[in-house]
Amino acid sequence: MKKNPITIIRLGLACVFLANGLAALFAPQEFKDLIEGSFILHWFSVSVAAFLWFIGINNILIAILLSLNKYSKIVAAWAMLWIIAATIVTQDIPGILEHVGFFSMALALWVSN
């Protein structure tokens, strides 16, 4: 780890995605509130429940791939796009700043691969 601190960033970002994926599946109220108050439902003709399922599976898959260090460049790019979308949906400054931090982690992974 000392020789490759990017591993710490990769595993930390994987934990963030895993936590959000599990929350979307098992404690979805915060996500539901964000989705219902955003433009997302106007873009996609899908139910909130189905979209929450998609968020959960997507985030868990990203977490697994980050943890296993598989398809690193592609996964980092997808994570950045996903974080940008989450940032757009977020409606408060602390949440936006949090997403900027996670985006920076994904960008560091993308650049390092």
- Residue 104 has a pLDDT of 97
Hey, what are 92's tokens? 């408060």
- State which amino acid sits at residue 18: L
pLDDT digits 0-9 by tens, 25-43? 999 998 898 888 777 777 7
Taking all residues of the chain, what is their mean pLDDT, rounded to a whole number? Answer: 92
CA angle 6/63/9 to nearest 5° reads 15
Hey, what are 94's tokens? 């602390």
Hey, what are 5's tokens? 């601190």
CA angle 30/36/37 to nearest 5° reads 90
Task: Tell me: pLDDT of 1 over 60.
Answer: no
Task: Tell me: pLDDT of 47 over 80.
Answer: yes
- Report CA-CA distances (Å) from 30 to 7, 11, 27, 43: 30, 24, 8, 20
DSSP 30-82: HHHHHHHTSSHHHHS---HHHHHHHHHHHHHHHHHHHHHT-SHHHHHHHHHHH
Average pLDDT over residues 15-20: 98
Task: Tell me: pLDDT of 111 over 80.
Answer: yes
Share of the chain above pLDDT 90, in %: 70
Average pLDDT over residues 76-80: 98
pTM above 0.85, yes or no: yes
Task: Tell me: pLDDT of 80 over 90.
Answer: yes
